[in-house]
Amino acid sequence: MSSAAPARRLAVGAVALVASCSPFSGSIDDEAGNGAGADASTSDETGASDGQAPDSAIGSMADGGVTFPAGSFCATFTDALQCFDFDEAALSGLVVGKLNGGQVAVASNFDGGSPPLALVATTTNMGAKAVATAPTIILSQHKNATLTVDFQFYVAAQATAIEYIARLNFNTQTSPIAFNNANGLQCGGTTFANLAVGAHAVSISMAIDNAGVVSAFSCSLDGSVPYLATVAVGTTLSVELGNANAGGAAMFATSYDNVVVRVH
């Protein structure tokens, strides 16, 4: 794991931001991991890739955006920087990291996304890792804009400990989105209680200022009122799906679909 800034605690305020319109319905290496039972309400060290070469990028760059196959879910967006539907291009464009029993695969068993395919990340042991990380976004290329991250996920069973669902990897720190078996989903240090087994939607929004940096983001679960979390000033961001913590020894699996990163 490359050197990174020390872990910083997220300062969370009960400040509701105006939620950007999510594209989904609200109903619906870390060689040893990051420590079993880590407090998911705090940020941890910046995630790093595993030195694996990424697959070819999805689509082609055009006017700062990305083009996707006609008729696909991703093609419905005009402002997408990144979009992963997993139907046309599978894992293309994502860097996969697996360790100690971690598995990352594309399967057709996601209940709640757009059929037929979805990403499935499974960890089976303590300290296991199963993640898929999107390319890094240089925030200075999108000054005075709003960046949003939306995705759907599905959990088939309650977590036995704190398990990551996703992480926001800023260059200064990593902010986890974690499933706490006792309290529900933790996102930006805010806990959304009563997370039921099944399909859910997460919507994240952050303002990029005129210097090209981010210092806070809001997070909403299933259309709930978004809450604000502050972060150390970040100049780059990559979105990581999967579990790099694996606090529980029992198998924990999460499925993902319709992952969209937009700037507007």
* Residue 63: predicted pLDDT: 31
- How far apart are the C-alpha atoms of 217 and 228, rounded to whole Å? 6
With contact defined as beta carbons under 8 Å apart, do 240 and 47 qualify?
A: yes
Predicted pLDDT at 192: 67
Tell me, what's the pLDDT at 121? 92
Domain harbouring 35, CATH code: 2.60.120.200
Is the pTM of the predicted complex or chain greater than 0.85? no
- Residue 70 falls inside a structural domain: no
- What pLDDT does 81 receive? 92
Per-residue confidence (pLDDT) for residue 107, from 0 to 100: 84
Decide if 23 is inside a domain: yes
Cβ of 11: how many Cβ atoms within 10 Å?
A: 11
Could you list the residue range(s) of the whole structural domain that residue 144 is in?
Answer: 12-44+79-263
Q: Domains in the chain: how many in total?
A: 1
**Residue 68 counted as domain residue:** no
- List the pLDDT tens digit at each of the 264 positions of the chain: 333 332 222 233 323 333 344 444 332 333 333 332 333 333 343 333 333 333 333 333 323 446 777 888 888 888 899 999 888 777 778 999 998 889 999 987 666 667 788 999 998 888 889 999 999 999 999 999 999 999 999 988 877 778 889 999 999 999 988 887 666 788 876 666 667 788 889 999 999 999 999 999 999 888 888 888 898 999 999 999 998 865 666 788 899 999 999 999
Tell me whether residue 233 is in a domain.
Answer: yes
Within a domain: 213: yes
Question: Does the residue 89 lie in any domain?
Answer: yes
67 within some domain: no
Asked whether residue 65 is domain-assigned, the answer is: no
